[in-house]
Homo-oligomer: A and B are copies of this chain.
Amino acid sequence: MAVIICEAAFDPWQAVQNHQNSQLADGQYGATATFVGTMRDFNEGDDVCAMTLEHYPGMTEAQLEQIIDEAKNSWPLQDALVVHRVGEILPGEPIVLVACWSAHRAAAFDACRFLMEALKSRAPFWKKETLTDNSQRWVEKNTDGYSH
């Protein structure tokens, strides 16, 4: 199980590959579910040209580990990986990766979904958008994944 807070742009597919190669034994897992959140160049009808992601060093990692523990207690997971970007982000760059490995696909799917929803509602990260007219605004409220 791993939590990575990342200040530079990262390649989520390479991160999944690396984690799998170093942490998982071939033939032991049958199902891998992943989710990648990527920065769009539009939000709430406005053009967004950059974003800054702030976090709370120490608490953010602790919260993510807590969420992973909850997932481990609810599903038979072989492994889980969470990578979250902080700092200056440009459109098209990945913001978050969640990956879950299990013997069975229901556990992998359900745990991956749980981790994303829990991360969005409980992990201390804050987004500030820079619009094309150079104005900045704090994102006030995360979208609800179940209704949007």
Contact = CB atoms under 8 A, between A and B. Distances in A.
A138 B74 CA distance: 33
Contacts of A106: 145-148
Interface in A98-120: 103-106, 108-109, 112-113, 116
Contact of A37 (B28, B39, B105): B105
Given A13-B16, A14-B13, A26-B92, A145 B104 contact: yes
Interface string A122-148: 000000000000000000000101111
A10 interface: no
Interface string A49-91: 0000000000000000000000000000000000000000001
Copies of this chain held together in the complex:
2
Contacts of A11: 17
A32 B113 CA distance: 12
A13 B30 CA distance: 15
A28 to B, nearest CB: 7
Contacts of A14: 13
Q: Top 3 closest A-B pairs, CB basis?
A: A26-B92, A27-B41, A27-B91
